[in-house]
Homo-oligomer: A and B are copies of this chain.
Amino acid sequence: MGHSTVDELGMELDIKSTSSSHHHSESIPYMHKVVVPPKQNPLKEFTATVKETFFADDPLRHFKDQPRSRKIVLGLQTIFPILEWGREYNLKKFKGDLIAGLTIASLCIPQDIGYAKLANLAPQYGLYTSFVPPLIYAFMGSSRDIAIGPVAVVSLLLGTLLQNEINPKDDDVRYRRLAVTATFFAGITQVTLGVFRLGFLIDFLSHASIVGFMAGAAVTIALQQLKGLLGIKKFTKKTDVVSVMRSVWSTVHEWNGRSIIIGMSFLAFLLFAKYIGKKNKKFFWVPAIAPLISVIISTFFVYVTHANKHGVQIVNDIPQGINPSSVKEIFFSSEYLIKGFRIGVVAGMIALTEAIAIGRTFASMKDYQLDGNKEMVALGTMNIVGSMTSCYVATGSFSRSAVNYMAGCNTAVSNIVMSFIVLLTLEFMTKLFKYTPNAILASIIISAVVGLIDTEAILLIWKIDKFDFVACMGAFFGVTFASVEIGLLVAVSISFAKILVQVIRPQTAILGQLPRTTVYRNIQQYPDATKVPGILIVRVDSAIYFSNSNYIKERILRWLTNEEEQLKKDSLPRIQYLVVEMSPVTNIDTSGIHAFEELYRSLQKRNIELVLANPGQVVIDKLHASSFASLIGEDKIFLTVADAVLTCAPKMQEP
């Protein structure tokens, strides 16, 4: 642990400050007052709060004191960061981006086809979604490492939510129309959050519950793949473990041996490739191209052996050509407008959470700043455009972004490269996927989602914070045993509950003096800290607001009562001063002031004086505004606990 701790002067001085009269106030040579800050304009104060809440990053900083033409350029650069980094783009950077782009393209094409199935859409919609959105993002996004396209969790979530409304088998046109409607509103949601600077809303999903949700979604997705892997034709529409396993066992007679052999052997191959890539970072490209290789080999195998005539299900025709327009498919009226809106909001938020988490991770690895609100506008725009070009919700894919990063991408140009490859695929190669067996897509998806189960993170959460672990497991079991929506609901609720507990039950601590110092610390943490006779020092570890003011008042009185009972039992002198260390109290509201007034009255009844130590800027201001400071006496407010003790101890009445 920290190697040094002298007292706060860095000198060894054996002060007997626990004896009650070693210092007389007249010997105090220098006085530092608790400063009351100058009165602020209320409007200014309010503006400052609003600014810090919504414009914490001061987005207009660069625009200050600039000529008008420059402002226009800066404005355009803000919306299209490509105008900024594009000017310094060079061949060397392109080399990295080209390799990275090719690598993620080879990874995304088979994934896209599989993910589209998760969303109950035809395979080409996955490819469409890997063509338009990455292009838009490349112009507007500010992350250099993210790889855009359809992702497993959002596909599953969208598929589940959509099929609650319309059965895709009954009415696939209307289902697809609802999907683009949801995508449109997902984009609108994302842009809105960005423009109104509500990006902080996604911070309400805690890391722990995201880890649990992702792991649960991965398990659910993997289980869904049993359909393709085992060649089952009739499969449950539910996604929970129990229903899926029941569905799997009840159809044992349907299982297709060839499918199983193809699926399992390639799954083993893919997992082995993943293992190699993990073992040696140099071979990151092995798991990246393994899926495409699997597709090629297995497709060839099926084509040659006519396995599709022996029950091996295949992809079948994917229409040739790039994204058709879907502007007219979006529901702008009818009952589906509301449904699409609701689904879009949920899917948009989850997509956002994933993209921002990925963006932040890689930004911190390369040490560049990511503007969350700007990102949201970029992601939202790409989904709005996507919804008009037959795409469904796209976002940043964790697995592909990691490959992108490791393959040495430098800018979003790698997304353009990938997009171009997908374009070529759509134009010229869709026919090649006709004989691709579904089993291989299943094994590709399984090997992809395995990475979403972050056991290391789960273990770490268990080690660090038990409450977080409960949230994590809640989300996990919610997804696996109930449904994706329930899991999400559990994750959000537990996250909120945690915030509320934090707000309503702040911590308090009894302080004691560390030997041979004037430092006062929690006696629970520092058992050698000693209490000062006759003085009880309580530290309140939170802003004092209506939500906790009563609790804090009662907690302080309870500390006092316990202490008094203990002192009485040991026939020690009674408490004469209660020092409240206010350093951590960053703010106080009217309820808090009331609570303190009540505390003061209770203490008066018990003949104990209330003393405050180190109230901060805002607090001291409010103590004065409410004239609480003059109620307890301004000479009862000290800069430090040590000051308070030094002043109170000599004044103590003999017991």
The residues of A with any CB-CB pair to B shorter than 8 Å are: 1-13, 15, 17, 23, 25, 27-37, 42, 45-46, 49, 52-53, 56-58, 200, 203-208, 360, 364-365, 367, 369, 372, 457, 460-461, 463-468, 495, 498-507, 509, 514, 516-519, 521-522, 524-527, 541-543, 545-551, 554-555, 557-558, 583-584, 586-587, 589-591, 593-594, 598, 601-602, 605-606, 612, 614, 616-618, 620, 622, 625-626, 629, 634-640, 642-643, 646-647
Contacts and interface: CB of A to CB of B under 8 A. Distances in A.
B594 A639 contact: no
A30 B643 contact: no
Given A463-B625, A465-B622, A6 B35 contact: no
B525 A594 contact: no
Nearest to A29: B12
A31 B4 contact: yes
B208 A467 contact: no
B31 A518 contact: no
B498 A34 contact: no
Contacts of A614: 521
Nearest to A497: B53
Contact of A2 (B207, B522, B635): B635
A360 B546 CA distance: 14
Given A558-B57, A590-B461, A6 B33 contact: no
Given A502-B545, A546-B203, A586-B541, A35 B617 contact: no
A640 B8 contact: yes
A550 to B, nearest CB: 6
B554 A57 contact: yes
A634 B4 CA distance: 11
B208 A546 contact: yes
A202 B545 CA distance: 13
A305 to B, nearest CB: 50
A583 B522 CA distance: 11
Contacts of A28: 4, 6, 10
A640 B506 contact: no
Contact of A464 (B367, B549, B584, B622): B622
Nearest to A612: B2
B46 A590 contact: no
Contacts of A13: 9
B2 A34 contact: yes
Given A8-B643, A10-B17, A204-B547, 5 more contacts: A5-B639, A7-B9, A367-B606, A463-B625, A464-B593
A522 B34 CA distance: 11
B583 A584 contact: yes
Contacts of A205: 546
A640 B6 CA distance: 9
B200 A10 contact: no
Copies in the complex: 2
A155 to B, nearest CB: 25
A53 B203 contact: no
Contact of A503 (B503, B591, B593, B605): B503
A353 B45 CA distance: 31
A544 to B, nearest CB: 11
Q: 9 tightest A-B contacts by CB? A: A5-B32, A584-B584, A206-B546, A2-B637, A5-B639, A364-B598, A525-B617, A207-B591, A541-B586
Contacts of A502: 503, 543, 545, 587
Contact of A466 (B46, B207, B524): B46
A46 B507 CA distance: 15
A33 B527 CA distance: 12
Nearest to A498: B545
A616 B526 CA distance: 10
Contacts of A58: 558
Nearest to A14: B30
A31 B514 CA distance: 11
B367 A602 contact: yes
A35 B4 CA distance: 12
B200 A551 contact: yes
Contacts of A527: 35
Nearest to A495: B546
Which of A31, A499, A558, A601 counts the most B-chain CB atoms under 10 A from its CB? Answer: A499
Nearest to A32: B5
Contact of A505 (B27, B56, B463, B503): B56
A518 to B, nearest CB: 4
Which of A506, A606, A640 counts the most B-chain CB atoms under 10 A from its CB? Answer: A640
A343 to B, nearest CB: 25
A64 to B, nearest CB: 13
Nearest to A543: B502
Which of A25, A364, A506, A605 counts the most B-chain CB atoms under 10 A from its CB? Answer: A364
A76 B528 CA distance: 43
Contacts of A640: 5, 8, 519
B626 A545 contact: no
28 contacts: A1-B634, A2-B639, A5-B34, A5-B639, A5-B640, A8-B518, A9-B13, A10-B17, A10-B518, A12-B30, A53-B504, A56-B551, A57-B554, A204-B546, A206-B591, A207-B590, A208-B546, A208-B590, A364-B602, A367-B602, A463-B625, A464-B626, A499-B503, A507-B587, A514-B639, A521-B639, A541-B584, A583-B584
A167 to B, nearest CB: 30
A62 to B, nearest CB: 12
Given A34-B2, A460-B590, A501-B53, A8 B9 contact: yes
A302 B501 CA distance: 59
Contacts of A543: 502, 541-542
A348 B574 CA distance: 43
B32 A6 contact: yes
Nearest to A57: B554
